[in-house]
Structure formats: C-alpha cells, structure tokens
C-alpha cells in the first residue's frame, strides 16, 4: 500500500513528519511518498539514516501553503504546493491514501477541488476521535464546514457511524445530536430541524440530543454538529487536557517528598492514563465524504501522530470506507431518505 504524505507547512517542520512516516514504514510495511521540497526532504532523510530506503519515495513540490494563506485561493494559485501535488497523486491512483498536517483549510479545499465528493454527499465532514472513559467518541464535523444544513448533519451521522463501526470496531454505534439539553424541543433552529430527520434515518442508531459532557462520558459513540461548534468543542477539550496534565505535573514536582514518592509508585498507572487520553494515539482525523481516504492531522502533530494517521489511512483503504459511504448514501436516496 502506498500513502502520500504532505510534509510541508507544519508547526514543527518536515523533520517530525518524515520521522513519523519512517516509523510507519518500519511498523506497517507500507510505502510512503514524501511530498515536499526535494532538497529539504533529502536532507531530513539523510539525518535519519533512511536515504536509501526503497519504501520511501520523494515527490518534489516547490511551493508551500502556509497556515496564514487563504485556503481556496492558495490551492488554485499554487499549483505546485505540496498538498496540491499530493492530492493529484491520490486522484490519479498513484497513491492509495493521503496524510497531511498542513493547513486544514487548504487540505479541505484541495480534497474538494482535486478529488471531489462522493456522489450524493453535499458536504464532507472531518471526523475526530475523542477519548472517553469507556473508549472513544467520534465528533463530526470538527472543522470542514462552519455552517451546515440539517440534511448535511444527517449525512455526517451516516458517515460517522460507518467510520465508528469499521475503524473503531463499535457495533451499531449510538448517534447523538449535540445540543444544549436532552429534550427534543431544545436547541436552535438547526437542531430543531435536524432532530426529526435523524429520528427517521434508518442508517443510524439515533439516541436523541446529547450534551457536551456526554462526549467524554462514553454514553454516545458518534456526535454530530456543525463545524463551527465542533471545532470549538475540540479545541476546548485539547486545552483542558493540556491544562490538567500541566497542573498534575506542577502538583507532583512542587510539593513534598511524600507526594513525589506516591507519584513514583503510580507512574505505571499514570503512563497508561496518559496513553488513553493522548490524541496522537488516534492519528489524524479523516475527511469523510471525498473520493479517497484523506487524513487531516493537527498542525502541531509529532511523529507518533503521523505514524498512527498512516495506520488509519491504511485501515480506511483496506476496509473500503469510501465505497461503504457511497453505498449507504445511494441506498438512502433510493429509499426516500435525505
């Protein structure tokens, strides 16, 4: 299997992305195509002693779309940008999937312009896996489209359910509509219009409205909302997790000897806890609804996150995620849904 990896435009530079790609090659036996400025990529490969690895291919791309660039405009103007070149490889079948940790907006725009949507899908959704006390919850949309029509939220629920089943192994995943209360009459116009559509949708196991606290409680498997709300929820949770870990470390290292000894005894348990809540364990977030497996990673992703994003990309390819979504949408339309 061949995975295209956009190595440019990230917070930590190409080195960390390439390191994760090489870890994926070693662990999963896949082939990777590193897309970026050739001289920089070669330099990083030499540093990491992988200059002659036959499973590592370099695809030169002379331009970079920065985080500050306008996504849509840049994708159209910078024809040789790394994300644009990587998307072309995917479209032409030269690669099976794509992983990018560059600008999210540019990645979404490149996927829409370069790949297109699955037939019947109105708007793709970014599906982010969030740890909960029982396993994981899929949140979508977490940033692909800030506004959404009720019908688009229903499509997101269908796609999220398929992802949760195939990749996370959740049988008949429970789907909830993110709202300010559990009652059917709660919420804004969008939520009120979406509720009856989800209730009537045969492809999802809709359990009703859910609140923000349900995401981490493990009482719901797939949570749907528009991209504006989803992204705010995601960034808030990321900030809270970092704050809790910082406070925990500060409490341990700035108190007495007894506390430090207790922390030392608890170290194995704490290591397991940190692994469970580490977002890097889940890799990136798939952009569901486009015509090929497309994984979007956080701009601050390090090697472990990239390695795991490659794993998710491979699983999506092996389990024909795109085909399964297409079949579900077509079947829904044939039976009067959406």
Map out the domains of the chain as residue ranges: 1-121+289-320, 125-281
Tens digit of pLDDT for each residue in 306-322? 999 999 999 999 999 99
Is the Cβ–Cβ distance between 238 and 130 less than 8 Å?
A: no
Q: Alpha helix locations (H) across 144-226?
A: 150-166, 189-200, 212-217
| DSSP three-state, residue 77 | helix
Dist. CA 261–CA 113, nearest whole Å: 56
Residue 214: the pLDDT is 94
CB within 8 Å of 141: residues ≥ 6 apart? 123, 125, 126, 127, 148, 156, 224, 225, 226, 227, 230
Token look-up 């989800």 returns 198
- ∠ CA 235-90-325 to the nearest 5 degrees? 65
- Report yes or no on whether pTM surpasses 0.85: yes
Fold of the domain built from segment(s) 1-121+289-320: Isopropylmalate Dehydrogenase (3.40.718)
Q: Which CATH class is domain 125-281?
A: alpha beta
How far, in whole angstroms, is CA 301 from its chain's centroid? Answer: 11
Neighbour-count burial of 236, counting CB atoms closer than 10 A to its CB (0-12 exposed, 13-18 middle, 19+ buried): exposed
CA nearest neighbour of 103 among 296, 249, 241: 296
Residue 274: the pLDDT is 59
| DSSP three-state, residue 254 | coil
Residue segments in the chain with a per-residue pLDDT below the cut of 50: none
Report which DSSP code applies to 167.
Answer: T
Residue 257: the pLDDT is 66
Q: Fold match between 1-121+289-320 and 125-281?
A: yes
């Amino acid at each position: 299997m061949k995975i295209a990896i956009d190595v440019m435009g990230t917070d930590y530079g190409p080195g960390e992305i390439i390191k994760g790609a090489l870890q994926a090659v070693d662990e999963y036996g896949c082939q990777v195509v590193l897309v970026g400025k050739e001289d920089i990529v070669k330099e990083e490969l030499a540093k990491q002693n992988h200059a002659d690895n036959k499973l590592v291919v370099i695809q030169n791309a002379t331009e970079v779309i920065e985080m500050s660039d306008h996504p849509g405009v840049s994708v159209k103007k910078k024809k040789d940008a790394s994300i644009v070149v990587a998307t072309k490889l995917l479209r032409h079948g030269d690669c099976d999937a794509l992983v990018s940790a560059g600008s999210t907006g540019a990645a979404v725009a490149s996927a829409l312009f370069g790949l297109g949507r699955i037939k019947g899908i109105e708007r793709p959704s970014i599906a982010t896996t969030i740890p909960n006390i029982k396993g994981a919850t899929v949140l979508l949309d977490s940033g692909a489209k800030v506004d959404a029509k009720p019908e688009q939220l229903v499509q997101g629920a269908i796609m999220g359910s398929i992802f949760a089943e195939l990749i996370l192994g959740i049988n008949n995943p429970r789907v909830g509509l993110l709202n300010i209360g559990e009652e059917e009459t709660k919420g804004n116009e969008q939520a009120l219009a979406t509720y009856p559509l989800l209730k009537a949708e045969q492809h999802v196991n809709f359990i009703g409205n859910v609140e923000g606290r349900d995401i981490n409680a493990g009482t719901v498997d797939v949570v749907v909302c528009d991209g504006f709300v989803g992204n705010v929820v995601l960034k808030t949770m990321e900030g809270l997790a970092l704050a809790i870990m910082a406070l925990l470390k500060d409490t341990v290292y700035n108190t007495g000897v007894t506390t430090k000894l207790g922390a030392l005894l608890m170290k194995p348990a704490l290591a397991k806890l940190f692994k469970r809540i580490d977002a890097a364990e889940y890799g990136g977030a798939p952009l569901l609804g486009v015509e090929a497996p497309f994984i979007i990673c956080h701009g601050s992703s390090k090697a472990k996150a990239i390695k795991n994003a490659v794993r998710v990309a491979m699983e999506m390819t092996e389990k024909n995620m795109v085909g399964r979504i297409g079949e579900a949408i077509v079947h829904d339309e044939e039976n009067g849904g959406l």
